[in-house]
Amino acid sequence: MSASAERDRRPVLPRRLGAADAAPYRAFRLAALRESPSAFTSSHAEEAGRPLSATLRRLAEAEDGPAALGGCGRCC
């Protein structure tokens, strides 16, 4: 079995995002905003204009709420 096939067989385990995840999370979110703008309430331009510190703040605020699991923390 190839290494990539072996990786595909491992379970996906959810975890909380932390400060070390801020840059990749921001890049992922910006790509999603660009590719599927109607799925979000904010625009790519709005999010791209925010500094990385805003993402760090968002992740820190999410630690105790539903946003830590992917929701916005306000409605889900």
Domain boundaries, the chain: 20-68
> Helix %, strand %, coil % for the chain, to 5?
60, 0, 40
Instruction: Determine if the pTM surpasses 0.75.
Output: no
21-68 confidence digits (pLDDT tens): 999 999 999 999 999 999 999 999 999 999 999 999 989 887 766 544
DSSP 50: S
Distance CA 34, CA 32 (A): 5
